[in-house]
C-alpha cells in the first residue's frame, strides 16, 4: 500500500500530465499542422497557438517559482497571453511545441523533489503543482475542442475512447 508521500507524488504526476483524467497533455498538440495552429474558428477567443503560448508562459512561471525564484505575475491577465495569434511557419510551431514539452517535463521533474508540503509564502509546492496542473488541464480541454472544430482531432496517438 502506498504511503502518503507516494500518494502525493502520484497525485502531482497525474495532475501535471492529465493521465487517467483525459488524453495526456503532451499529446494534445501532436500531429497538428502549423497552419491550423493559428486558425481561430468563428467565435473562438483564442487560436491553438495562443493557448499553447499561454500554457507555456504559466508553466515556465511555475518552474521558476518552484526553483525558489520570485517571478513577477503580470499586472493584467493579458500579460499572461504572450505572442501572436499564429506561428509564422513550421519551424516556429516546432520550437513552441518543444517549449511546451520541455515545460511539462520540467514540472514533472520538480514534482519528484522532496518535501512537497514545504511552504513558500502562503502556498506549498504541492499546491503550486496542483494549480498549474489544473490550469494546463483547463486549457488542454480548449485545445481539444478547437481541434475538434477544425476537424483535426484526435492526435496520431488517438483520443480517449471507450
pLDDT at 2 over 90: no
Of 45-49, 117-121, 145-149, which gets the smallest average pLDDT? 117-121
Question: How far is it, in rounded angstroms, from Cα 146 to Cα 150?
Answer: 6
pLDDT at 162 over 70: no
- 162 lies in some domain: no
Nine-digit cell string for 4: 502518503
Report the pLDDT averaged over residues 86-110.
96
Q: How confident is the model at residue 161, as a pLDDT? A: 56
Domain with 79, as residue range(s), is 4-149
- 160 lies in some domain: no
Domain of residue 107, CATH code:
1.20.120.450
Say which residue, 3 or 57, is predicted with more confidence: 57
Q: How confident is the model at residue 108, as a pLDDT? A: 93
In our burial notation (b when 16+ CB lie closer than 10 A, e otherwise), range 49-88 reads bbbbbbbbbbbbbbbebbeeeeeeeeeeeeeeeebeebbe
Domain count, the chain: 1
Predicted TM-score (pTM) of this structure: 0.93
Q: Check residue 98 and give left, alpha or beta (phi > 0: left; psi -120 to 50: alpha).
A: alpha
Between β-strands 123-124 and 119-120, what pairing exists: parallel, antiparallel or unpaired? antiparallel
- 161 lies in some domain: no
pLDDT in tens, 32-41: 999 999 999 9
- 85 lies in some domain: yes
Question: How far is it, in rounded angstroms, from Cα 10 to Cα 17?
Answer: 11
Please identify which residue in the block is written with the cell numbers 488542454. 140
- 157 lies in some domain: no
Report the pLDDT averaged over residues 13-26.
81
Report the pLDDT averaged over residues 2-15.
82
- 78 lies in some domain: yes
**Spatial contact of 20 and 14, defined as CB atoms under 8 Å apart:** yes
Q: How confident is the model at residue 98, as a pLDDT? A: 96
- 81 lies in some domain: yes
Say which residue, 117 or 53, is predicted with more confidence: 53
Q: How confident is the model at residue 115, as a pLDDT? A: 87
- 79 lies in some domain: yes
Backbone φ and ψ for 139, nearest 5 degrees, come out as -75, -25
Amino acid at each position: 500500500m502506498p504511503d502518503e508521500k507516494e500518494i502525493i507524488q502520484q497525485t502531482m504526476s497525474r495532475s501535471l500530465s492529465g493521465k487517467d483524467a483525459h488524453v495526456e497533455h503532451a499529446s494534445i498538440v501532436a500531429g497538428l499542422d502549423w497552419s491550423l495552429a493559428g486558425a481561430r474558428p468563428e467565435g473562438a477567443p483564442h487560436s491553438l497557438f495562443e493557448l499553447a503560448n499561454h500554457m507555456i508562459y504559466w508553466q515556465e512561471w511555475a518552474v521558476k517559482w518552484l526553483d525558489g525564484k520570485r517571478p513577477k505575475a503580470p499586472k493584467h491577465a493579458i500579460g499572461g497571453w504572450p505572442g501572436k495569434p499564429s506561428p509564422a511557419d513550421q519551424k516556429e510551431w516546432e520550437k513552441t511545441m518543444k517549449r511546451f514539452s520541455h515545460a511539462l517535463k520540467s514540472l514533472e521533474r520538480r514534482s519528484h523533489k522532496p518535501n512537497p508540503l514545504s511552504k513558500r509564502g502562503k502556498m506549498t509546492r504541492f499546491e503550486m503543482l496542483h494549480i498549474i496542473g489544473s490550469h494546463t488541464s483547463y486549457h488542454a480541454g480548449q485545445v481539444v475542442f478547437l481541434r475538434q472544430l477544425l476537424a483535426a482531432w484526435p492526435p496520431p496517438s488517438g483520443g480517449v475512447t471507450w
